[in-house]
Structure 1
Amino acid sequence: MARTQTPDDAQEPHRPALSHSLLEDAQALLLGTALCALGVQFLTAAGLVTGQTAGLGVLLSYVTGWSFGLWFFLLNLPFYVLGWIRLGPRFVAKTVIAVTLVSLFSRGLPEVLSFDRLDPWTASALSGAVIGMGLMVIFRHGASLGGIGILALWLQERFGLRAGLVQLGFDALLFAAAFAILDPWLVTASLLGAVIVNLIVAVNHRRDRYIGR
């Protein structure tokens, strides 16, 4: 549906979205992935979990003893093919870089950052905030953290399944598994962080307000 022109629109010319330079993309991916890795550090230090592919990586790290960084990198490998078909090579290249950086940062942060005391609810809120902001930085520069989001977009395009419902269904199964494996109180606290992440993305990742004009 066409957007109704307002007086402000008539006075202000159309401004096409500007592409980012290589340096701008580099600093954004470093910042965004570092924030996401910091959020994962809050989660794992408090024994919490989150949603999407990152949440599956965290849960598998608890079960197997392998690091989150390794699991996160491995879990994303199958989705790159879908991303290439659905969103193109440029998007996939940036996403591979972002996933690799989060994996590396997540492996290195525990060596230089630890917590003597970390309340689970505080950890959950902080993780949701920094992961949400990290994702926004990554999204704005044409990348993602891969995984279930790419699969959801493909299923929507191929079979008509709504991407949001696919992701919601995956998170429901993930948290159900977490309740069976982890302390239910910690899983309940984890839900706060997942809600904060989704609220940050829902409010800020809007094409009509923030992405171009």
Structure 2
Amino acid sequence: MAEPRAETGHTWLDDLQGISLGVFLAGIGVHLLTTVGLITGQTAGVAVIASYLTGYSFGLMFFLINLPFYALAWRRLGVEFTLKSLASVTALSVMTEVIPEGMVFSYLDPALGAVTFGALTGIALLALFRHNGSLGGLGVVALLIQDTTGFRAGWVQLIFDGVVFSVAFLLFPAWVVLYSLLGAVVLNLIIAINHRRDRYIAT
């Protein structure tokens, strides 16, 4: 049996299942989002916008946009966090190519798609954070700010989302941005309310 690490109480098997669950839920969330033609915030939002504008897949754009953030993660948050984040981003990039092959919707209401995306992806990020991983990009910056200043990661992400959606209003119809904003608010509220290191002690 895998022995738990002293600093977290998680074994490597715990981490594997937690990170795998997070990536899987995030993959479904992104598929729902793109099915209804919406966008999101954070680094994934930049990747979605770049995907729509360039015609390249979300998976490719998401992987490439995250590359510069690994240097910051390596220096400030450690090797383990960086490698787990790299593995998670790579796996999600693959999942977003695979899931649409097996999950097709004849109709999905945009509001329901946005809320479901926000809920699934918020839970996915909690799973990743609690196993010392992330989906890279802004998540790295948000966790660094939270750990050094105490300012909640969810609020950091919500502020960045405000910038992303302000730009999106210049590129997309207003209804697309408003529905997308609904999903982003659900996601970030889940992170802001539930992700507190002082409330989570792995056993």
Taking the aligned partners of 2:8 and 2:152, their CA distance within structure 1 comes to: 28
Q: 1:118 aligns with which of 103, 108, 114?
A: 108
C-alpha root-mean-square deviation of aligned residues, in Å? Answer: 2.3
Unpaired runs of 5+ residues, structure 1, are 1-15
Taking the aligned partners of 2:17 and 2:143, their CA distance within structure 1 comes to: 27
Unpaired runs of 5+ residues, structure 2, are 1-5
Taking the aligned partners of 2:36 and 2:125, their CA distance within structure 1 comes to: 21
Give the aligned residue type for 1:83.
A
Other-structure match for 2:184: 194
Pair member with larger Rg: 1
Other-structure match for 2:134: 144
Deviation digits for residues 29-50 of structure 1 (CA, Å, limit 9, x no counterpart):
1111010011100110001111
Between Structure 1 and Structure 2, how many residues are aligned?
196
How far has the Cα of 1:156 moved from its partner? Answer: 8.6
Q: Structure 1 195/168 Cα, relative in aligned 2: closer, same or farther at 3 Å?
A: closer
Structural mapping, 1:1-213, within 5 Å:
18-152=8-142, 167-211=157-201
Taking the aligned partners of 1:81 and 1:163, their CA distance within structure 2 comes to: 22
Give the aligned residue type for 2:107.
R
How far has the Cα of 1:19 moved from its partner? Answer: 2.5
How far has the Cα of 1:150 moved from its partner? Answer: 2.3
Taking the aligned partners of 2:68 and 2:146, their CA distance within structure 1 comes to: 18
Taking the aligned partners of 1:17 and 1:86, their CA distance within structure 2 comes to: 17
**TM-score, normalising length: structure 1:** 0.84
Q: Structure 1 132/105 Cα, relative in aligned 2: closer, same or farther at 3 Å?
A: same
The percentage of aligned residue pairs carrying the same residue is 48
Give the aligned residue type for 2:183.
G
Deviation digits for residues 65-86 of structure 1 (CA, Å, limit 9, x no counterpart):
1111111110111000000011
SS of residue paired to 2:160: helix
Q: Structure 1 19/67 Cα, relative in aligned 2: closer, same or farther at 3 Å?
A: same
